[in-house]
Structure 1
Amino acid sequence: MIVSIILPDLRPGGAERLHVNLAEEWGRSGVSTEFVLRNAVGELLNHLPASAKVVDLKAARVRNVLGPLIQYLKESKPDAIIAAMWPLTVFAPLAARLAGYQGRVIISEHSPLSIAYRRHGRLHQLVMRASQRVCYPLADVRVAVSSGIADDLASLSGLSLKQFTVIHNPAALGKVNANAACPEQLSGRPGPIILTVGTLKPVKRHDLLIEAFARLPASLGATLCILGEGPMREELEQQIDRLGLQGRVLLPGFAVDPGPWYGHSDLFVLSSDYEGFGNVIVEAMEYGVPIVSTDCPVGPTEILAAGQYGALVPVGDAHALSQAILAALTEKGDQAALKLRAKDFAIEIIAQKYLELLAS
């Protein structure tokens, strides 16, 4: 079986990384993958399975992707396609219909679109809703990576909730290395290590996390590590300087393998305004790291079972976040329970669910 994975690019986002991991897992079952990219750029290009092919549609803008995609489907005829992230999730089934494509068409959404695009204006909202209403039914399966996203998509598109299938992200990779060396930046620090992982962009609210961290007692001797890269680096560096947190808040950049960072941290914190799922929460749980998260729409509360596996605090509340961090650092967490919960999102389980959809 040949499966084509249609993505904008392979920059290191959550959706991009999980598809690379799925391709690697499928390869063990004899399934070949082709990454069909609007633009073949991104750090993850260097981390694809050796058997995976890359197809560059060379579409400068999203609206230019339809023609090259139709041509690709006519020529390559893969057994199935998976398209992720709107608007590719409407272009892909439309291209498949126009190309006379006979294989399985699966689309998957990884973000609560009504929130992600709410500031783009009424016309954009109307176009998004109309495109979903027309093109979603052209797909064989519509996947949402959380129940909250399924609810959001049903509301936006006007389709029945029953027309969406929820498959959580395969965020537990089973590659925990308890003996991994401590990253040099964390080595020798006397107090607790607080970690977050994510692109440095506004929705992740790293500014809120830094503000919450500044409220912790200095006697705690804690270090905050923000692992990731993105457009807000300069702004965050200025905030760190303004609050006098130099040397206590670290911005090491992007890490291909964040495992050693999880393995040598005492607490993981997610401070986002919204998430589609929250892969990094599962990644931290797999290492038994206690969790504090904003109760943001839509993924964290599903992963943490409404607070059973970690603390949930109101979105945008630096004081509540600071208090929850302090409480979590003084409590003894149940590592075994966290690791067991992470297994619900194991890649072998999720990969098999997708294969069942592909083969139906």
Structure 2
Amino acid sequence: MNKKKVLFFIYQMGGGGAARTFLNIINNLDRSKFDPILVTLNYNGSYEDELKSDIMFIKLETKRLRSAILPLAKVIRNERADIVFSTIPNYNTIAILANLLSFTSAKNIVREAAYLGGSFSANIKLRGYGLLYRLSSKVIALSKGVKKNIAKRYKVNPEKIEVIYNPVDVDGIQRHIDNGEIAEEHKYIFDGDAQVIMTAGRLVPDKDHETLLQAFAKVNNKVNARLVILGEGELEVFLKAKAEELGISDKVHFLGFQHNPYIYFKHADLFVLSSIHEGFGHVLAEALAAEIPVVSTDCRPGAAEVLNDGEFGVMCEVGNAENIAKKLFATLQIDNEQLMLMIDRGKERAYEFDAKTIAKQYGEVFIRTIDRGDRS
């Protein structure tokens, strides 16, 4: 069969979850069936160095998303793309409009990664995205809960929506652990008798680090512990002040973005996710792959699906510092035999999201969409 060209469009190959997902799909897509093309705006991203060398990588000569429509349409036309694949509503909008203006037979497939909406104004905005999504051939939801949300709030026909979980490069994570090393200036955190609790994610309201700090303060009253926070974001100054207010600033370590977070995961005693909402909870799957026990809020829909309602990790209440602290403390007290069982089961679960498996599922959707030859 002739290889099909799949054009992946994203803002930049930066440090976010969407870029990591694209990286895992593109690198693991079957090259006997597909030629991948990656298109971004004119930004440098931290994941670019990890792209396989056979990937055609095009940067548009603009840093403005709205200015990308015509240049992207030109690339779609010149490269004769069969599929235009994008993720996140704003980028999906640009990809759909660009494809229409390319005047080609390329099919749009859009991916929705977040559980959005709730307020009146937000729901109206999602209806607008939904009108555009109807012009696509397929909508990919990264969890069953996200699929229900797209059908309900975007008003997209459920039959047009397919669930494919986030890809996790399990073997790649292990390579990062085997070949990685904690930065010299951070090694003291993991030395000594303190038990290290780890979290990773953008420092934004939805991740609810404030409640996590309150919970950690309670845990710190019972055991000798440290909290390591990986990630950057708008709330960094506020959260550091909060740690100072709670009297735990000497025990809380804000380490920013780390290109290899997995070596930090491996050396910690426990991973915690305190989010209010998660479409999937990609970092939970990565933590399971890194062989670290997991405690997570029951942030719907993602965490419940990744951990199968507590089968592969400990679940606690959203926004409840007392309950989070209780579950953190209890998990830190688990004996070695139970701990190893928990870690082994978690690693098995992570392989269910392995990048090779997920990339194959995407490939099957790409082929079906091309063969169907319509936009319905």
The answer, yes or no, to whether TM exceeds 0.5 is: yes
Q: Which one of 339, 350, 356 corresponds to residue 348 of structure 1?
A: 356
Equivalents in 2 of 1:200, 1:33: separation in Å?
A: 33
What's the CA shift for 1:112? 1.1
* C-alpha contact (below 8 Å) 2:117/2:126 kept by paired residues: no
Correspondent of 2:343 among 332, 335, 342: 335
**Letter of the aligned partner of 1:126 in structure 2?**
I
The 3 A distance-change label for structure 1 pair 169 and 78 is same
Q: State the distance in 2 between where 1:219 and 1:322 align.
A: 10
Normalised TM-score (structure 1)? 0.91
**Residues 28-63 of structure 1: per-residue CA shift (max 9 Å, x gap):** 657443222244343223433223333333455443
Q: Secondary structure, in 3 states, of the residue corresponding to 1:289?
A: coil
* Residue equivalent to 2:154: 157
| Partner residue, 1:173 | 170
Q: CA deviation at 1:182?
A: 5.8
**SS of aligned partner of 2:219:** coil
For residues 316 and 282 of structure 1, the distance between their equivalents in structure 2, rounded to whole angstroms, comes to 21
Aligned counterpart, 1:26: 29
Alignment of 1:101 onto 2:115: no
After TM superposition, the structure 1 = structure 2 runs for residues 235-274 of structure 1, keeping only pairs within 5 Å, are 235-274=238-277
- Match of 1:296, SS? coil
Aligned-pair Cα RMSD in Å: 2.2
Counterparts in 2 of 1:60 and 1:28: CA distance versus 1, 3 Å:
closer
Deviates more, 1:161-170 or 1:210-219: 210-219
Moved more, 342-351 or 34-43: 34-43
* d(CA) in 2 for partners of 1:290, 1:272: 17
Tell me which moved more, 326-335 or 27-36.
27-36
The within-5 A match list for 1:168-207 is: 168-175=165-172, 176-177=174-175, 179=178, 183=182, 184=184, 185=186, 186-207=189-210
Farther-moved stretch of structure 1 (343-352 vs 28-37): 28-37
Question: 1:35-50, aligned counterparts within 5 Å?
Answer: 35-50=38-53
Structure 2 counterpart SS, 1:113: coil
Structure 1 residue 154: deviation in Å?
Answer: 0.5
Partner residue in 1 for 2:374: none
Tell me whether 1:52 sits opposite 2:55 in the alignment. yes
Q: Report the more deviating stretch, 162-171 or 238-247.
A: 238-247
Alignment partner for residue 303 of structure 1, among 297, 302, 306? 306
Tell me by how many angstroms 1:180 deviates: 5.5
Aligned-partner Cα distance in 1 for 2:204–2:61:
26
Q: For residue 294 of structure 1, report the CA deviation from its aligned partner.
A: 1.0
* TM-aligned CA deviation for residue 13 of structure 1: 0.8
* Secondary structure class of the residue paired with 2:114: coil
Q: How many residues align?
A: 354
Match of 2:323 in 1: 320
Please list the CA deviations of residues 230-281 of structure 1 after superposition, one character each: whole Å capped at 9, or x if unmatched: 2222222222222222331111121112121111111110001111111110
Paired letter, 1:85: I
One-letter identity of the residue aligned with 1:336: D
Change beyond 3 A, Cα 1:146–1:39: farther
Shift of 1:353: 0.6
Matched, 1:358 2:369: no
Contact 2:140–2:164 (8 Å) recurs in 1: yes
Deviates most, 92-101 or 187-196: 92-101
Matched, 1:139 2:147: no
Shift of 1:224: 0.7
Greater RCO (Cα-Cα under 8 Å, separation 6 or more) = 2
* SS of alignment partner, residue 108 of structure 1: strand
**Do the aligned residues in 1 keep the contact of 2:276 with 2:297 (CA within 8 Å)?**
yes
Quick one: distance in 2 between partners of 1:180 and 1:75?
Answer: 41
Q: Contact 1:229–1:253 at 8 Å: present in 2 too?
A: yes
CA distance in 1, matches of 2:15, 2:64: 20
Residue 94 of structure 1 deviates from its aligned partner by 3.4
Please report the TM-score for the alignment, with normalisation by the length of structure 2: 0.87
Deviation at 1:220, TM superposition (A): 1.3
CA shift at 1:304, angstroms?
0.7
Measured in 2, the distance between the counterparts of 1:341 and 1:303 equals 8
Q: In percent, how many aligned pairs have the same letter?
A: 29
Shift in CA distance, 126/274, structure 1 to aligned 2, threshold 3 Å: same
Instruction: Report the Cα distance in structure 2 between the residues aligned to 1:224 and 1:180, rounded to whole angstroms.
Output: 24
1:212 match: 215
